[in-house]
Amino acid sequence: MRTIKNLYAALLAVCLLLVSAPLLAGDNPNLLVMGEDADKDTVPRNSRVFKRVLDQLNEEMHNAGFNMYDETAVTLGDFAQGRNRRTDAEIIDVARSVRRPPIDVAVIFQIYASAKPLDHTTKVKVRISGRMLNVKTGQRLGNFEVDTPQEWNAEPECNRECILEVVGNYSKTIAADLGAVLSEKLAWMVEGSGDETAGGGDSQLPMAYNLIFDGFTSEDMLSIEEYLVIFSGYKAHRPVYSSARRSEIWYESTIKSAKLNRNLQRMLTELDLKGMVQFAGNTYTVKKIARRNENKKPAADDGW
């Protein structure tokens, strides 16, 4: 009897553990926090204020359960380091070019700060805007802006060192708020409402893939499309190019890249087609391997 009770207790503990496990644990996107400072009015990347905001955003989103990566660490050796006044185009290109680990979402922020000296005090105002971008598809995943509810005060005749310290303190405070809001927005997209959770091969993060089929006939493509629509996580697909031997499809799904790769390989086997599957980023290229005399020949005893 005691053994049965112990078994029930163990099963209950396992169930509670599964229920209490964070929803993000099994399907976490990789995030890279990056600052845009091309606007001359923004705080530059080499400022201590910038670094404090960067660290606070990383901390908030890390605590929310996301996989956070340091830009310098993942780009060391392949990209010029320490560049200031970077444009949107440069930032996005860097995020897309990182392969190990592949970055899913770029969190891009800008800092605006001003100090107005008065006879009796110095008025300080800070504003930070942030947005999230699906690196592979270019889809915007949300944005938010946080600023000081009113001008804060610093000591009169506040010199440069004083202003940097005061602005840094206030910037860190509102960066925490920005990080919390962006984390909540992204968590909602990854987890959904909580009533449904993604399966082992699916992600709740909106995703789209560019599927290229090279060397396949129109008859082959009819059969292939029948498989594409039954893959797990399927949302929609749209042909973007089609010719006698080449087709390109924009494929929207929540399926993970590893499972999509397996499904494409399995699909070729099921259809008795020989092919090679390659992928980089969100582009999958399936090349048909032609076999000599593959076309079916009529049987001599079929009454022809």
Q: Give pLDDT, residue 297.
A: 57
- Answer yes or no: is pLDDT of 26 > 60: no
Torsion of CA 153, 159, 160, 161, to 10 degrees: -90
Cβ atoms within 10 Å, residue 74 = 20
Phi, then psi, of 75 in degrees rounded to 5 = -115, 0
Q: Give pLDDT, residue 28.
A: 79
Mean pLDDT of 248-277: 94
Mean pLDDT of 115-142: 93
Q: Give pLDDT, residue 127.
A: 94
Q: Give pLDDT, residue 9.
A: 45
Q: Assign residue 222 a region (left: φ > 0; alpha: ψ between -120 and 50; beta: otherwise).
A: alpha
Cβ atoms within 10 Å, residue 186 = 23
More confident call, 33 vs 12: 33
- Answer yes or no: is pLDDT of 67 > 90: yes
Domain boundaries, the chain: 22-191, 202-288
- Answer yes or no: is pLDDT of 228 > 80: yes
In 3D space, the residue among 284, 261, 281 whose CA is nearest the CA of residue 100 turns out to be 281
- Percent pLDDT > 70 in the chain is 83
What does the angle CA 180 – CA 182 – CA 188 come to, to the nearest 5 degrees? 100
Task: Tell me whether strands 122-134 and 246-255 are parallel, antiparallel or unpaired.
Answer: unpaired
Distance CA 190, CA 214 (A): 33
Q: Give pLDDT, residue 202.
A: 60
Query: Is the torsion defined by CA of 148, 154, 160, 164 positive or negative?
Result: negative
Q: Which CATH architecture has domain 202-288?
A: 2-Layer Sandwich (3.30)
pTM of the entire structure?
Answer: 0.77
Q: Give pLDDT, residue 250.
A: 95
- Answer yes or no: is pLDDT of 5 > 50: no
Distance CA 227, CA 213 (A): 14
Task: Tell me whether strands 30-35 and 105-117 are parallel, antiparallel or unpaired.
Answer: parallel
Q: Give pLDDT, residue 151.
A: 87
State both tokens at 239. 């042909």
Q: How many CA atoms lie within 13 A of 275 on its CB side?
A: 27
Distance CA 113, CA 57 (A): 17
Same fold, 22-191 and 202-288: no
Q: Give pLDDT, residue 224.
A: 96
- 54 close to 70: Cβ distance less than 8 angstroms: no
Mean pLDDT of the chain: 85
Instruction: Express each pLDDT in 147-198 by its tens digit.
Output: 988 888 899 988 889 989 999 988 999 999 999 999 999 998 887 644 444 4
Q: Which fold has domain 22-191?
A: Rossmann fold (3.40.50)
